[in-house]
Structures are given as C-alpha cells and as structure tokens.
Structure 1
Amino acid sequence: MTTSHHRFLILGAGPTGLGAALRLLELGESDFLLIEAQAGAGGLAASFLDEQGFTWDLGGHVQFSHYRAFDRYMDLALGHEGWIEHQRESWVWIRDRFVPYPLQYNLHRLPPEERWQCVEGLLSIAGHEPAAQPIPATARDFDEWMLATFGQGIADVFLRPYNFKVWAYPPDMMNATWIGERVALPDLRTVLKSLCLGEDNLSWGPNNRFRFPKRGGTGAIWTSLAGRIPDAHLRFGDAVAALDTSQHILTTASGNRFGYDQLISTLPLDRLALLIGDPELVAQTARLKYSSVHVIGIGLRGQPPESLRTKCWMYFPEDNCPFYRVTVFSNYSPENTPDPGVTWSLMAEVSESPCKAVDASRVLDDVVQGLLATRLIANPADILSRWYRRLEHGYPTPSVDRDSILEQVLPALETRHIYSRGRFGAWKYEVSNQDHAMMQGVEIIERLVNGREELTLNRAELVNGRYNEDPYPEWGRG
C-alpha cells in the first residue's frame, strides 16, 4: 500500500479533472495527483470501439465552444487537422415527417390544424386575445415558462411531450433558471414569415457549426490531453473507497491512502456525500434529481438513406419510439464505422427516472422497433452491431429545488476543503457541456492558486451569452 500527501487531489479524468490538472501544470504546480476509477480518460465523454469495429460515444456529443481557452485545448489535443467541420442539421420527427429544428420556425411543415393551433397560442400570449396573460417575470417552473413563452399550442404539440422524453420528469418539477441559450425563443415575425413563405429555418443555435474528431470519437480528445500529463500525476483504474474529511485522507479500492490539502471532486454530488458519510449532506444531496440514459449504437451495412444523408441528429417527441434523440453518428465521421462508405451507424438515447421506467432487458429490441417505426432503418437484417451502455448519472435535472440545495451543499463542502465541480459535481445543466466542464476545472485552479473568480460556475448567463476570450494574460506560462 502507498501513503502519500499532495497539495491538490483531483478525482475524475473527465473534462473537468483534466482541465484542472492541465492548468496546474501550466501554472508550474507539480504537487498534485489525479485519480480515475476507469482504465482511461474521458468520463462521460469517453468513446468505445465495439467488437465489429464501430466507434461509439456515450451520447450525442459535439464540439462547440464558448471559450477561446477551450478551443486552444482542443487544438492542443488533435491539432488543426484532426477535425471534421460540420454545419448543424437538427430535425424533429413528428406526425410522420421531418420538421427542421426549432419547430416554431418551421410550422409550415406541420398538418394545417396544428399549424393554426401553434400560431393561435403564440398570438394569445402576444396580446391579440382578450384572455392573454403577461409573461411572468419569474416562472415558478419550466411548464409555466413554456406556456408563457410559447403558448398552449406549441407546448402541447411538441414541448411537453419532448421534454418529458428527454428529462424523464414532468416539466412542472423543473425550474426555469437553466434555459438561457438552450431553448430557441419564439419571434412572432420569424414564425409568421416562415409559415407564409413556406421557408425552412435551420440556422438557430449556439452550435450551428461544430467540429468532431476524424478518428476515435469524442474520447480521442480526452485521451490525447491525458497523455500530456506526466504519469507521476495520474492514477487510473483505482476507485475511491473512503474519504475522511477530518483527516484529509482518501482511501482507494486498492487500499492506498492519499492525503491532501485541497480536494477537487468531479464525482456526482450524491455519491460524494455518501463517501463523506455526513447524514445532513446525504439527506440534502438525495433530494437532487437526475435521469439515467440508455445509449444504444446500431451499426449497419450499406449507406444512410437520402433522408438522413446530411442530418446530424433528430428529436422524437412521440410515443411510437422509446428514444428522445438519434444521432447519425457515421455522418460525424466516416471513421466511426469499420468500413467507411460500406457501413454506417445510428446512436439512440433513452431516458429513465423514477417518473419514467425503462425495461433494460427490452430496450435494445424496443429501440430497433422504434427505428423501424420512424423509418430510420428499413430492414433489421442490415444491422451488424448492437452496442449498449446504461449511464446511471446521465442528465443533472434542474429541479425546482435544485438551486436552494446547491446553495447549501457546495459551500458546506468548501468548509472541508472540497471543491465539487463538473457535470454532476456542480449539478448545473446550464454549464455542463464539455467546454463548460473543462473550464470549471481550469477556473477552480485559478481560484485556489491565484484568487480569481469562477465565472462558469457562478455566472452562467454571462459565459453563455458571449464568446469568452482568454481570461488570463499570462496564459500558458509554466
């Protein structure tokens, strides 16, 4: 058994933990150790090669960025030539047809009755009906926000059914503080123009252009960046077994003990609380909500049909399929298949929660049936590979009481010199993309070493509302 002490101990080699470790190296700080339970880097952004030679991600990840610093790290990982650039094409499969996303800017593709249902709702909230109510300054929950922002029609036709499928919780159990840039707000003039002219509107969104690794899936990025950290600072394949916060001692499954001054954890908050064993922390974090995600990869012979040839991903609000999203994963990179041009691939995601049960023994077959029902595939005999992973912690749910819980838990951990960051470490969906997660790691190091503010964790509306230039004049020293 090993016993050692470190100024910084980092738990997890996903984007957040790697961001923290890389920033420590850049600042010339060498007294740190990163511990990862898995054999390799990436966390929820890892990739896998199946037995048939198909590459899979743990969900539909894309690389777009709010930060110049993150873009620098991406170029450091794969260079300028290791990427494929994409113009985003996202669609909604609804009423047995594809409608470009966002749906409210492409209502002309809906059946006539539902077009009017959607427009009537928008006109009502715009004040053209006597019964119209003003949009509340602060909606009590996500469902109230949807109705006040989109009207009854779009809420009933798309937003309510889709958001239950993706979040696995009713929208009235969620807050509305996370939304920001995540949802396209309706502009009545744009809606009516598209409707009258019959024009598709495909350009909305912060990620209307994105890039993807040529080879190795999203995980290739994080494997490359982990390779830039000296082995002496890395410990893979050794999970945390116990945490004594009074003595600042962490014990791993292998029986090794590590002392620390500061602990940066990217573990899910509820799991971290159980390791600490404080009953109050356990009770508080047990109130946090999350959904699990079943990720199913379907490798196929042939080439994608013409209807999918340029699409990136599709949303599925209806109940004739179990998945909420399907990615044409071979469109991201042909190298995601074993024989480019002769094989192709689809990746489906199915959510699960206490409010939405999933039969794991049937989910693969249910997904295949859903792909047939939505006409994404024509013949099950073309399937070469069926790959499956269940992610216990898939989405951190922005529940109505999430913010009040985090306002208690995160400061309580810091009194113990524990800084919980990342997708499930901070539990803030609005700053849980890969760029956000990595910058949370960078910024906590800047706070602990140089006393700087953590913008991503604390100012989501600021970092998401702009492209953030290099935050540190001395960037890259060390």
Structure 2
Amino acid sequence: MHVKYLIIGAGPTGLGAAHRLTELGEHSVLVLERNPYAGGLAASFRDAAGFTWDIGGHVVFSHYTYFDNLVDALLGGEYLEHMRIARVRIAERWVPYPFQNNIRHLPPDMQWECVQALLPGHRREVAPTNFAEWFEYVFGAGIAKYFMRPYNFKVWATPAEMMSYQWIGERVSVVNLEMVLRNLVLQLDNVSWGPNNLFRFPQQGGTGEIFTRLAARLGDKVRLNTPVAAVDPASRAVHTADGQTITYDKLLTTGPLDILIRDQIGAGPAAAMVGDGMRAAAGQLARNGVYVAGVGVNGTRDDDTCWMYFPESNAPFYRLTNFHNYSPRNAARPGHQRALMAETSWSDHKPEQLDTLMDKTIEGLVNTSMLHPDETARIASRWSIAVDYGYPVPTPGRDDALRCIQPWLEAHGIYSRGRFGGWKYEAANMDHSVMQGVEWAGRMVLGEEETTYKL
C-alpha cells in the first residue's frame, strides 16, 4: 500500500495534521495508531463505576484562532467555561496560585524568609547556569526553598541542577518585589496570571471527546490497533506489527523521538543508517513517567478549586484536580460525587512503586485535607493509568540533540512533531500539539513556515 502522507500516531498532532491535509484537498492520507482509541495523551476513559478520567489535568485554552475554531466546530457549543481557581497546599493552609505572588497567606516567619531573600543584596546576582540556580536568581532562596525546588522535583522527577531554564517563557510567573510587598501590606491576592486563567472543558466525555470526534471526521483515514514495528527511510516504508508494509512520500511521526531512532529505525532494516552520533543524541533526550490516580468519592463538599499543587512530602502527587468541577458529568452521579484526579511523576532519579501508589495517593488525600478519614469508606472508584512518557524534560543537552536528529530525519522525508516527537515541553500544550500538526501540513502542501515548532 502507498500513501502520499503517512502519519504515525492519532494524538492531537497526528489528527491535527490529517485534518488540515484533508482541508487542503489532500486525501492520500493515513494515520496509524497503536492503541484501540484516538487521542494519545489527551484521551479520556470511563471506568467501571461510571467516572470519566483524563490522563492528567488537561484544560482547553489557546494561542491560536485556528485551534479555537476547530474546537468550536467539534464540540458545537457543548462545553463549559471556567475561570481558573488554583491553590498551593503548604504549611497546612492554602495559598492562591501563583505561590510567589501570594506569600501573604504563609505563616509570618515563612513570609519574612521569602521577602528577605528578595531584598537587594540577598538574592543571587550571578547569572544562572541551570534551573536550580534560576530559582534563587529570580525568586530568592526563600521561595526556592518552600515551593520552587520541592515542587519542580515532584513534577519533573529530575534534579533542577540537571535542567536548563531557557524553556520557561510563559510557563512560570516571575516575581516582582514591589508587587510582593504591596500584596503583603494591603492584603491583596494576585491570581490572574497565566495563559490558562480562562479555560473550556467538554460537557461530557472528558478532553478525549475532542479527539474522538476529530478522528471520527477522518473516518477510515485513521487506523487503530496498528502499532509500527519499523521505519525504513531508505525505501520510505513503514512496517507494522501485524505484517503490513506501507510506503509513503512524506512521513509525520508523533511518537517518542528516542523510540523512533533507537527502535523503529535503529533496530529495523535501516539500522545501518543510524550512526553513533544519532544514537548518542537520542540518548540525551530525558523524560519522566506520570501515574494518574482517579479517586471517585460519594458525597460532595463546598470547594470551587479547579486544581491544586503540592510541594510537600506528605502526598506523593504534585497536582490534584477537582475533576468534577470541570464538568459534573465526569462523576458517575453528577452533583452527588467528587472525582479527584492526582498526578505523580517518576524516573530513575525519583523511583516510585507503581503498585502501591493508589494507596499512597489516598493517604496523601487524607494528609492534605482533601479527604476526611471517614470519607475513605465512601470511595466509589479507584482508577489509574501509568504512562512511561509523561513530560519531555528540558535538559541542557536537549537542543543540541534535536539539532542533530531533526535535520537528518527531514533529509530522509521524515518529520517528527508533537509532545514527544518534537521533545519540547514549552511547545507541548494541547493547542501547541494540534498546531504543530496543522502547520506541518501547511508546510507540506503550501510551503508555509512552521512557527510553533522550531529548533
């Protein structure tokens, strides 16, 4: 079988690319997906108890008119809109997010430690060389100690000394000493920072509803349950695990870039084409895994928070989402149950026993006041998923590795995009991921420049 455009992966990037290709009149398009469902890391699942869960706390916000219009067309108005309410659990109290803008909620001694470290002569003045040094350079030693350092280790499962900081951009709110002092003295909160301050969410079906509907539009152009075994750049062919061979003119791959180099090309018919330099570059790409625990609880409580951050060690998870607040239909019995969705990372630097994480998650919910001890008897659902590829970690060697791998692939008609295909966390939100595929299609057909994914 031969197609003009072959796409590996029916996640946001692959589906976005296929959709745009068909919009542009290209119909020799095929998407191969290893799973029995579309959506990739943005898929959603309904458990046996009737709760709906995402693979982590996704929300729909956008930097792109195209993406907004696509979501509108797919959902047809069947979504809810929320103002973000986020908080940080620390010192047995809740601090509004962003933490660094709202330290007035801390105990007085912690407030002073944070403010003192921001004063002239106290903050690090030498330019940072890594993420850990950036904490103190920007936030001072106090905020670094209480939030930035412990929270980021829980998220990335990577020591901050082993990460770069140039990726940050709009991902982290930097601190302003005058604003911190003003908020302290006048007892003000600053909670509106960030691109996801206003977000949307499907009324039913979770985030995955968006991509289920997008895949349905593409019909038989999406082939599920079809994992790829090998990619042969020399013959421009993909070999599937069930014995099919599909040739192509252009290949977009949205799966993990290290697997593409190491296993799909490097262990297949074209293994000799992958030299030591490429293998070494792929080995420089770091990532974590994420365990998502969904805990459905009978009964409700008055809590309008969307999601919460947990820098302390009394809970394994770094983030918890009140998923029932995103849509009541995420609970099996809307209005009568809570859906608590917790995320815990792991890596070689931060190993976790996955088979005990559900119990530890429930213990952490009690420790952080998200569950009263009596409520554990009212748990109606325990659902979990462990994804080996959670976040691509921005390490100092990442960009050099990408500058080695990506031009080689493109010289052989292969384009790698998406959260792990592009391996750039700063361009891996849902809207970014869809638009990476859309812009790639525009480049292939119209010669347009890609602006979201750049080396």
CA distance in 1, matches of 2:359, 2:381: 13
Say which SS state the counterpart of residue 353 (structure 2) adopts.
coil
The CA distance in 1 between the partners of 2:106 and 2:198, in whole Å, is 26
Of 116, 120, 136, which aligns to 1:120? Answer: 116
User: Residue 333 of structure 1 corresponds to which residue in structure 2?
Assistant: 327
Inter-partner Cα distance in structure 2 for 1:237 and 1:448: 27
What is residue 39 of structure 1 aligned with on the other side? 36
Correspondence for 1:463: none
Q: Secondary structure at the match of 1:73?
A: helix
Aligned partner of 1:11 in structure 2 is 8
- Does the 8 Å CA contact 2:84/2:198 hold for their aligned counterparts? yes
2:255 maps to a residue whose letter is L
Give the ranges of 4+ consecutive aligned residues of structure 1 lying more than 2 Å apart after TM superposition.
131-136, 278-283
The residue correspondences of 1:263-278 to structure 2 (distance < 5 A) are: 263-273=251-261, 274-277=263-266, 278=274
Instruction: State the 1:118 CA deviation.
Output: 0.5
User: Does residue 30 of structure 1 match 2:24?
Assistant: no
Distance in 2, matches of 1:367 and 1:156, equals 24
The 3-state SS of whatever aligns with 1:194 is helix
- 2:270 aligned partner: none
**Helix, strand or coil for the counterpart of 1:457?**
coil
- What is the rounded CA distance, in whole Å, between the counterparts of 2:223 and 2:194 in structure 1? 39
Partner amino acid, structure 2, of 1:418: I
* Contact kept? 1:135, 1:149, Cα under 8 Å: no
Quick one: which amino acid aligns to residue 18 of structure 1? L
Rounded to whole Å, the distance in 1 between the matches of 2:123 and 2:92 is 32
Q: Does 1:419 align with 2:407?
A: no
- Aligned-partner SS, 1:394: coil
CA-to-aligned-CA distance 1:15-70 (integer Å, 9 cap, x gap): 10011001101100111111111112100000000000000000000000000010
- Contact 2:12-2:434 at 8 Å conserved across structures: yes
1:214 paired to 2:203: yes
Partner of 2:285 in structure 1? 288
How do residues 63-462 of structure 1 correspond to structure 2 at under 5 angstroms? Answer: 63-79=60-76, 81-123=77-119, 128-129=120-121, 133-134=124-125, 136=127, 139-231=128-220, 233-273=221-261, 274-277=263-266, 278-280=274-276, 281-303=278-300, 305-306=301-302, 309-378=303-372, 379-458=375-454
SS of residue matched to 1:202: coil
The answer to whether the Cα contact below 8 Å between 2:117 and 2:123 also exists between their aligned partners in 1 is no
The 3 A distance-change label for structure 1 pair 405 and 76 is same
What is the one-letter code of the residue matched to 2:387?
L
Cα contact 1:317–1:324 (8 A) shared by 2: yes
Preserved CA contact (<8 Å) 2:34 2:228: yes
* TM-score after normalising by structure 2: 0.96
Structure 2, unpaired ranges of 5+: 267-273
Matches of 2:431 and 2:124, distance apart in 1: 38
- 1:455/1:198 Cα in 2 relative to 1: closer, same or farther (>3 Å)? same
The secondary structure found in structure 2 opposite 1:189 is helix
Supply the AA of the counterpart residue of 1:401. G
Paired residue type of 1:271? I
- Report the CA distance shift for 1:236/1:132 in structure 2 as closer, same or farther (over 3 A): closer
User: How far apart in 2 are the matches of 1:279 and 1:74?
Assistant: 42
Is the Cα–Cα contact under 8 Å of residues 318 and 343 in structure 2 kept in the other structure? yes
Partner of 1:471: none
The structural deviation recorded for 1:135 is 5.9
> How far off is 1:200 after superposition?
2.0
CA separation in 2, counterparts of 1:225 and 1:257?
26
| SS of residue matched to 1:228 | helix
* 1:465 equivalent in structure 2: none
- Residue 282 of structure 1 deviates from its aligned partner by 2.9
Deviations 1:249-269 (A, max 9, x none): 111111111001110000100
Query: What is the rounded CA distance, in whole Å, between the counterparts of 1:342 and 1:319 in structure 2?
Result: 31
Q: Give, in whole Å, the separation in 1 of the partners of 2:391 and 2:4.
A: 31
Contact preservation (8 Å) 2:34, 2:225: yes
Q: Specify the alignment match of 2:269 in structure 1.
A: none
Give the distance between the partners of 2:14 and 2:145, measured in 1 at CA.
Answer: 41
More off after superposition, 248-257 vs 429-438: 248-257
Deviation at 1:104, TM superposition (A): 1.6
Give me the whole-angstrom Cα distance separating, in 2, the residues matched to 1:279 and 1:41: 33
Equivalent residues of 1:269, 1:426 under 8 A apart: yes
Output one character per residue of 1:284-306: Cα deviation in whole Å (capped at 9) or x when no partner.
21221100000000001011x22
CA contact (8 A) 2:305 2:322 kept: yes
Q: What amino acid is the match of 1:256?
A: Q
